[in-house]
């Protein structure tokens, strides 16, 4: 079953394009990465799903129900963590979390305590006394305390130190194991690489590609580092070669295609050093941007 | 109910402060009433020296300011200005403040409908305005009872003055409300509220000075001008209808606009 289904969703802000014709679906139980540079339309898509903003055209469903008409019911099962968190400054953390919990059915105080312990969050502080990172923790607890079936994260790790990021990712993975679907938007590829099963790449308001993270990395590109004895020519004239850089006599490029052809190409000259590695997503990703 | 409760926590304090201000204004005016009436002759003389336009601008022409009602009508102007500012502040801020403080994302991603958010917030503001309205009744009757001395007055005229004050408040509230949802962002609520309240008062004064009655149809300071109430003993039906229509139209359109509003991201 698809938890999120987006059909030709388009949003214009006046004349400015937010997103255009975005179509994608997120399956139940997966961690779905949504990557793209700043301003590509990630937040716009998420805000549309939460009906904070309304589409110019197209539609989206969550749990099989229209996300505008049934928005308030759907949101019972959504935990949302925005990239920048803002809460009522004069409230205590505890009161804010209770206020948040009061919108959801059931009693969530035990889970609230548990999450606050894990994230090392002091419940008795006032919101306006908190550092940015601590506010972020409030956001995490607030987003997870009602045990949502769908977790939407919009660039969630900014402001968290690496230790907390780790705890946070573990929390998310745990929720995922318990059955929660995760929709994870980010421009930090390492995170996505670590967490996600599938990714959609968005650029300039359009979905460029949706793929399994494994396929995206394996099938597509190799990163090649070669050092030869002679001054080598530019290899970019050969098929499958792209992103050529020459640094201190070392030639670096991305290669897509038959590995044998690559080897034949490389060994035209005497090779001093050769490295063929999996490119990180960033490089794969840069390719989609060109 | 939770949104209403949260909203009320701040609104109660605010309503108390505004109520105290109204009481302060009324007691300030009424406490010097007896001294004022003792020197009526002199004051009449002074008043005659003022140009008629000035008296009209302050709504002081045509009534005997030596009477309790006539004297109180001067005081009521300041009370009205106070209530106009309060109601405008509520109107401009109640729907816009969460967006300005960026907490709208939090609130609207809870499982609630916009309709519920709208009505909870409006209801909280109404509660605060009704509290201040009640305080205005109380302040008025308390102070005229204490300070009117041996002067006779007709309570009916005061009841009429007080009864329409809630409409006066609602006019400013709903106007502020609709402007706040038409505009993309309200930065300084106070500046908007002051402009609306004093702007309306200016229109009313200018209308009186240049004797242009049509201007009066624009401003609630004219709809409920105490002097015409004292002289005629009744409300102007046309004015009353205009006021109620403005309130209803502004409330309905602010609801529709709020429901469809795009809540933009912080950055």
pLDDT over threshold 80, residue A229 = no
When pLDDT is cut at 50, 70 and 90, the band that residue A290 belongs to is low
For chain B, helix (H) and strand (E) counts, in that order, are: 15, 0
Nearest by CB to residue A72, choosing from B106, B111, B265, is: B111
Please give the pLDDT value at position B230. 84
Distance (Å) from the C-alpha of residue A92 to the closest C-alpha of chain B? 13
3-class secondary structure, A80 = strand
Please give the pLDDT value at position B267. 52
Cβ–Cβ contact A257 with B under 8 A: no
Of residues B198, B194, B221, B193, the one with CA closest to residue B76: B221
pLDDT over threshold 90, residue A123 = yes
Nearest by CB to residue A87, choosing from B103, B108, B267, is: B103
When pLDDT is cut at 50, 70 and 90, the band that residue B71 belongs to is confident
Of residues B260, B4, B92, the one with CA closest to residue A52: B260
Of residues A32, A145, A141, A159, the one with CA closest to residue A84: A159
pLDDT over threshold 60, residue A277 = yes
When pLDDT is cut at 50, 70 and 90, the band that residue B52 belongs to is confident
Domain ranges of chain A: 2-217, 220-289
Q: Which residue pairs, CB below 8 angstroms and at least 24 apart, start in A272-278?
A: A272/A227, A272/A228, A272/A229, A273/A225, A273/A226, A273/A227, A274/A224, A274/A225, A274/A226, A274/A227, A275/A224, A275/A225, A275/A226, A276/A222, A276/A223, A276/A224, A276/A225, A277/A222, A277/A223, A277/A225, A278/A217, A278/A218, A278/A222, A278/A223
Residue of B nearest to A44 (CA): B265
The mean pLDDT of B19-33, rounded to a whole number, is 94
Please give the pLDDT value at position A137. 93
The mean pLDDT of A17-23, rounded to a whole number, is 94
pLDDT over threshold 90, residue A270 = no
Residue of B nearest to A69 (CA): B113
The answer to whether the CB of B123 falls within 8 A of the CB of B4 is yes
Nearest by CB to residue B111, choosing from A53, A76, A82, is: A76
CB spacing of A87 vs B266 below 8 angstroms: no
Cβ–Cβ contact B184 with A under 8 A: no
Give the range among A64-68, A101-105, A268-272 with minimum mean pLDDT: A268-272
pLDDT over threshold 80, residue B207 = yes
CB spacing of B102 vs A86 below 8 angstroms: yes
Please give the pLDDT value at position A285. 66
Would you tell me the crossing angle of helices A109-118 and A162-177 to the nearest 10 degrees? 140
Chain B residues with CB inside 8 Å of A102's CB?
2
Model pLDDT for residues B136-182, shown as the tens digit of each residue: 999 999 999 998 888 888 899 999 999 999 999 999 999 999 999 99
Cβ–Cβ contact A38 with B under 8 A: no
Chain B residues with CB inside 8 Å of A72's CB?
111-113, 116
pLDDT over threshold 70, residue A288 = no
Q: Domains in chain B: how many in total?
A: 1
pLDDT over threshold 70, residue A281 = no
pLDDT over threshold 70, residue A289 = no
Distance (Å, whole) CA A170 – CA A288: 30
> By percentage, how much of chain B surpasses pLDDT 90?
60
Of residues A86, A27, A34, the one with CA closest to residue A207: A34
Distance (Å, whole) CA B106 – CA B115: 16
Model pLDDT for residues B79-115, shown as the tens digit of each residue: 999 999 999 999 999 999 999 988 999 999 999 999 9
The mean pLDDT of B227-254, rounded to a whole number, is 91
Cβ–Cβ contact B266 with A under 8 A: yes
Please give the pLDDT value at position B115. 96
Please give the pLDDT value at position B59. 63
Nearest by CB to residue A86, choosing from B101, B113, B260, is: B101
CATH number of A2-217: 3.40.50.300
3-class secondary structure, B160 = helix
Residue B264 lies in a domain: no
Please give the pLDDT value at position A282. 65
Distance (Å) from the C-alpha of residue A241 to the closest C-alpha of chain B? 39
Distance (Å, whole) CA B174 – CA B87: 8
Residue B176 lies in a domain: yes
Distance (Å, whole) CA A205 – CA A22: 8
Distance (Å, whole) CA A63 – CA A28: 9
> By percentage, how much of chain A surpasses pLDDT 90?
54
Chain B residues with CB inside 8 Å of A13's CB?
262
Cβ–Cβ contact A80 with B under 8 A: yes
Nearest by CB to residue B263, choosing from A53, A78, A89, is: A53
CB spacing of B108 vs A47 below 8 angstroms: no
Distance (Å) from the C-alpha of residue A68 to the closest C-alpha of chain B? 10
Give the range among A5-9, A56-60, B207-211 with minimum mean pLDDT: B207-211
CATH topology of domain A220-289: Alpha-Beta Plaits (3.30.70)
Of residues B80, B40, B35, the one with CA closest to residue B64: B40
> Which residues does residue A247 pair with via DSSP β-bridges, in sequence order?
A250
**Pick among B111, B113, B256 to test the A interface (most A CBs inside 10 A):** B111
Residue B267 lies in a domain: no
Residue B246 lies in a domain: yes
Model pLDDT for residues A166-192, shown as the tens digit of each residue: 999 999 999 999 999 999 998 877 788
The mean pLDDT of A95-120, rounded to a whole number, is 93
Cβ–Cβ contact B110 with A under 8 A: yes
Chain A residues with CB inside 8 Å of B108's CB?
50-52
Residues 155-184 of A with CB under 8 A from B: none
Cβ–Cβ contact A72 with B under 8 A: yes
CB spacing of B111 vs A104 below 8 angstroms: yes
Q: Within 13 A of A233's CA, how many CA atoms are on the CB side?
A: 7
Distance (Å, whole) CA A231 – CA A249: 7
Q: Within 13 A of B43's CA, how many CA atoms are on the CB side?
A: 15
Of residues A208, A207, A182, A209, the one with CA closest to residue A195: A182
The mean pLDDT value of chain B amounts to 90
Residue B214 lies in a domain: yes
| Residue A123, CA distances (Å) to A112, A114, A282, B106 in order | 10, 11, 38, 18
Domain assignment of residue B31, given as a range: 2-259
Cβ–Cβ contact A87 with B under 8 A: yes
Q: Is B234 exposed, middle or buried (0-12, 13-18, 19+ CB in 10 A)?
A: exposed
Please give the pLDDT value at position A145. 93
pLDDT over threshold 80, residue A204 = yes
User: Which is more confidently placed, B35 or B193?
Assistant: B193
Chain A residues with CB inside 8 Å of B104's CB?
52
Distance (Å, whole) CA A244 – CA A223: 10
The mean pLDDT of A150-165, rounded to a whole number, is 89
Distance (Å) from the C-alpha of residue A197 to the closest C-alpha of chain B? 26
When pLDDT is cut at 50, 70 and 90, the band that residue B233 belongs to is confident
The mean pLDDT value of chain A amounts to 88
């Amino acid at each position: 079953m698809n938890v999120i289904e987006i059909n030709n969703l388009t949003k214009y802000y006046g004349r400015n394009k937010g997103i255009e014709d975005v179509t994608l679906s997120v399956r139940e139980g997966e961690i779905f990465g949504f990557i793209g540079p700043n301003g590509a339309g990630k937040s716009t898509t998420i805000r549309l799903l939460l009906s904070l903003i309304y589409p110019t055209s197209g539609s989206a469903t969550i749990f099989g129900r229209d996300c505008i008409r049934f928005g308030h019911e759907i949101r019972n099962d959504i935990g949302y963590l925005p990239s920048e968190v803002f809460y009522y400054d004069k409230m205590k953390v505890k009161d804010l979390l209770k206020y948040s919990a009061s919108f959801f059915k059931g009693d969530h105080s035990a889970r609230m305590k548990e999450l606050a312990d894990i994230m090392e969050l002091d419940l008795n502080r006032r919101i306006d006394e908190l550092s940015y990172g601590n506010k972020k923790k409030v956001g995490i607890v607030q987003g997870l305390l009602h045990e949502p079936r769908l977790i939407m994260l919009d660039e969630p790790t900014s402001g968290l130190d690496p230790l907390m990021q780790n705890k946070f990712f573990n929390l998310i993975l745990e929720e995922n194991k318990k059955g929660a679907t995760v929709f994870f938007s980010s421009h930090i590829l390492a995170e996505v690489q670590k967490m996600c099963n599938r990714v959609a790449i968005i650029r300039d308001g359009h979905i460029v590609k949706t793929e399994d993270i494994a396929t995206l990395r394996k099938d597509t590109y190799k990163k090649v580092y070669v050092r030869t004895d002679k001054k080598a020519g530019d290899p970019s004239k050969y098929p499958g070669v792209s992103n050529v850089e020459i640094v201190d006599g070392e030639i670096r490029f991305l290669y897509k295609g038959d590995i044998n052809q690559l080897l034949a190409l490389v060994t035209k000259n005497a090779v001093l050093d050769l490295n063929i590695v999996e490119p990180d997503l960033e490089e794969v990703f840069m390719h989609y941007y060109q | 109910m939770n949104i209403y409760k949260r909203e009320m926590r701040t609104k109660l304090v605010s309503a108390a402060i505004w109520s105290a201000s109204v009481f302060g204004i009324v007691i300030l005016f009424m406490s010097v009433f007896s001294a004022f009436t003792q020197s009526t002759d002199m004051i009449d003389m002074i008043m005659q020296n003022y140009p008629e336009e000035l008296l009209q601008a302050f709504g002081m022409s045509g009534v005997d300011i030596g009477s309790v009602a006539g004297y109180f009508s001067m005081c009521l102007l300041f009370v009205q200005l106070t209530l106009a500012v309060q109601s405008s502040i509520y109107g401009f801020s109640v729907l816009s403040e969460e967006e300005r403080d960026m907490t709208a994302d939090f609130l609207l991603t809870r499982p609630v409908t916009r309709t519920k958010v709208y009505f909870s917030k409006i209801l909280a503001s109404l509660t605060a305005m009704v509290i201040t309205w009640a305080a205005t009744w109380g302040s008025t009757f308390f102070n005229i009872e204490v300070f009117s001395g041996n002067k006779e007055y007709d309570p009916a005229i005061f009841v009429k003055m007080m009864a329409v004050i809630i409409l006066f408040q609602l006019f400013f509230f709903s106007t502020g409300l609709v402007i706040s949802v038409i505009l993309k962002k309200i930065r300084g609520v106070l500046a908007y509220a002051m402009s609306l309240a004093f702007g309306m008062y200016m229109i009313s004064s200018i209308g009186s000075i240049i004797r242009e009655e049509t201007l009066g149809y624009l401003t609630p300071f004219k709809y409920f001008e105490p002097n015409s109430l004292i002289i005629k003993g009744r409300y102007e039906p046309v004015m009353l209808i205009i006021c109620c229509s403005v309130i209803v139209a502004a409330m309905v359109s602010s609801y529709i606009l709020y429901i469809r509003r795009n809540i933009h991201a912080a950055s």
